Amino acid sequence: MRLFPATADANARRLIYARALRAVADGYVGILLPAYLLALGLDAFEVGVLTTATLLGSASLTLFAG
């Protein structure tokens, strides 16, 4: 089974790998940030608000840049 079509060149592969790495990093931050904020002593509501704002900001910047 091929991961990429035969017409995909090296640049397409690099782009897909970079996007995958960014998605993993974004998911890691989505888990690490709330854990860190809870360790700092914030309550669940504050952590939820900050996490939501972070994810919405990331999504809007991704849409804007795209």
List, for residues 6-51, the tens digit of each pLDDT value.
787 888 888 888 989 988 988 888 889 899 999 999 999 999 999 8
pLDDT beyond 70 at 65 = yes
pLDDT at residue number 48: 92
pTM over 0.95: no
Greater confidence, 2 or 1?
Answer: 2
Cα dihedral value 50, 51, 54, 60, nearest 10: -120
Domain locations in the chain as residue ranges? 29-66
